[in-house]
Amino acid sequence: MTTFAPLDAFPLAPPAQRWRQELERLYGAQGPEVAAQLEQALRAWRERLPEPAPGRRVLTQRDALLITYGDQFRDAPRPPLAVLADALDRWVRPGFSWVHLLPFFPYSSDDGFAVIDYGQVNPAWGTWDHIHRLQALGFDLMFDLVLNHVSSQHPWFQAFLRGEPEHQDTFLHLPPDTDLSDVVRPRPWPLLTRFETAQGPRWVWTTFSADQIDLNYRAPHVLLAMVNVMLDYVAHGASMLRLDAVAFTWKEVGTSCIHLPQAHALVRLFRAVLDDVAPHVLLLTETNVPHEENVRYFGDGYNEAQLVYQFPLPPLVLHTLLTRDSRALTEWARSVAPPTPATTFLNFLASHDGIGVRPVEGLLRADEVERLVEHTLAQGGEVSYRALPDGSRAVYELNITYWDALNPAYEGEPLERQVARFLAAHAILFALQGMPAVYVHSLFGSRGDREAVERTGQPRAINRARFALRALARELAQPRGRRRQVYDGMMALLQARARTDAFHPQQPQHVLAVNPGVFALWRGEPGAPGSVLALHEIAGTARTVRVPWPARPGPLVDVRTGRALGMAEGPTLTIPLRPYEVLWLRVPARAFTSPPRE
Residue 249 near residue 150 (C-beta atoms within 8 A): no
Neighbours of 209 (CB within 10 A): 16
Amino acid at 494: L
Can you tell me the distance from the alpha carbon of 62 to that of 138, in angstroms, rounded to the nearest whole number? 13
Sign of the alpha-carbon torsion through 416, 421, 424, 430: negative
- C-alpha angle 95/97/102, rounded to 5°? 105
- 84, 70 contact by CB (below 8 A): yes
Where do the H-state alpha helices sit in 278-348? 291-294, 313-323, 327-334
Please say whether the beta carbons of 484 and 491 come within 8 A.
Answer: no
Residue 296 DSSP code: G
Angle between helices 313-323 and 415-431 (to 10 degrees): 140
Choose among 432, 327, 372: nearest CA to 64.
Answer: 432
Q: Is 75 a catalytic residue?
A: no
- Residue 588: CB atoms within 10 A of its CB come to 14
Of 53, 54, 130, 122, give the one whose Cα is nearest residue 99: 130
Out of 71, 144, 244, 353, pick the active-site residue. 244
CA atoms of 6 and 55, how far apart (whole Å)? 5
Handedness of CA 477, 481, 486, 488 (dihedral sign): positive
Tell me whether strands 65-68 and 435-439 are parallel, antiparallel or unpaired.
parallel
- d(CA 355, CA 350) in angstroms, rounded, equals 7
One-letter-per-residue 3-state SS of 471-534: HHHHHHCCCCCHHHHHHHHHHHHHHHHHCCHHHCCCCCEEEECCCCCEEEEEECCCCCCCCEEE
By CB atoms closer than 10 A (0-12, 13-18, 19+), residue 50 is exposed
Residue 62 contacts residue 98 (beta carbons within 8 Å): no
Residue 569's contacts (CB-CB under 8 Å, 6 or more residues apart) are: 549, 553
DSSP bridge pairs for 66: 99, 438
Q: Which of helix, strand or coil describes residue 146?
A: strand
Closest by alpha carbon to 217, among 152, 267, 256?
A: 267
CB proximity list for 470: less than 8 A, separation 6 or greater: 75
How would DSSP label each residue in 529-562? TT-EEEEEE-SSS-EEEEEE--SPS-EEEETTT-
C-alpha count within 13 angstroms, C-beta hemisphere, residue 346 = 30
Catalytic residues: 244
